[in-house]
Amino acid sequence: MSHARTPTTARQATSAGPLPRTIVTGASSGIGRALALELARRGVPVLAVARHAEPLQALADAHELIEPWVADLSRIDEMDGLAAQWLLRYPDIGALVNNAGIQHDLRVDDAGYTAQDMRAEVELNLLAPMALTRALLPHLQAQQRAWVVNVGSVLGSCPKRTAAVYSATKAGLDLFTQALRVQMQGSPVRVVHAVMPLVDTPMTRGRGRGKIPPDVAAQALVRGLLAGHTDIRIGKARAAWHLQRWAPGLLARMLRTA
């Protein structure tokens, strides 16, 4: 497993900001990159995790509070060891943002969409957040305050016709978040579900209309965290939630043509 950062001595920043040191997965681009920068600008030390070293190092070079860590989170069996390495090096970790994800914009019956593609989506979008959360929970429960933030999607409640598996993983992440929130009652761990609309990222390039910039999404997420919200619906995800409750047929028709 690729697990090391490039400098030999980590910057051991103290968490003088509004949140403790925060792990952000999928941090090399899109929402994850914007979120890492937004947190760092607010004084929060960030452990930025992604598969690709070059964009991750460029992110770390952009702010002194961002530490890069190269890892492939689809290797589910390695999550315990990865978490142990993080906690050994950064014992002040107090928050996990499960943001990493992939989406194959294909119908299930498309000839180019394979079982391996399905497995990759399920492993990264759903199993990895579950496994990472489980591995870090004993440490997080021992803190005075801690957060687990799962980044979801409006597609988790109303699926897109060309993203059936992705939609299913986000629905699963939503239910996992709800169950974990019940389990963590009475503990210092706040469990948060951040529901994203269509955001302008490399994953959504060439798809859809009305996207919001990733920095806007990141700012809204952080504002919600600091306000103490446990369900953060961003941009059009708020309207979609109301439509799902009061006019689900209309929302389904809108997404079928997206």
The HSE-up count of residue 46 (CA atoms within 13 Å, CB side) is: 33
Range of the domain at 106: 21-256
Please provide residue 72's backbone torsions phi and psi, each rounded to the nearest 5 degrees: -100, 105
CB 151 within 8 A of CB 124: no
128-141 vs 79-89: helix axis angle to the nearest 10? 40
- CATH number at 123 reads 3.40.50.720
| Residue 159 is assigned to a structural domain of this protein | yes
| Residue 49 is assigned to a structural domain of this protein | yes
| Residue 228 is assigned to a structural domain of this protein | yes
64: which DSSP letter? T
- pTM here is 0.85
CA 256 to CA 252: how far, in whole Å? 6
Beta bridge partners of 48: 24, 68
| Residue 4 is assigned to a structural domain of this protein | no
Q: Is 113 a catalytic residue?
A: no
Exactly one of 25, 166, 196, 197 is catalytic; name it: 166
The tens place of each residue's pLDDT in the chain, 258 residues long, gives 444 443 333 444 444 568 999 999 999 999 999 999 999 999 999 999 999 999 999 999 999 999 999 999 999 999 999 999 999 999 999 999 999 999 888 888 899 899 999 999 999 999 999 999 999 999 999 999 999 999 999 887 777 778 899 999 999 999 999 999 999 999 999 999 999 887 666 665 555 556 678 999 999 999 999 999 999 999 765 545 444 554 455 555 555 555
| Residue 16 is assigned to a structural domain of this protein | no
| Residue 236 is assigned to a structural domain of this protein | yes
The total domain count for the chain is 1
| Residue 15 is assigned to a structural domain of this protein | no
List, in order, residues 6 or more apart from 142 with CB less than 8 Å away. Answer: none
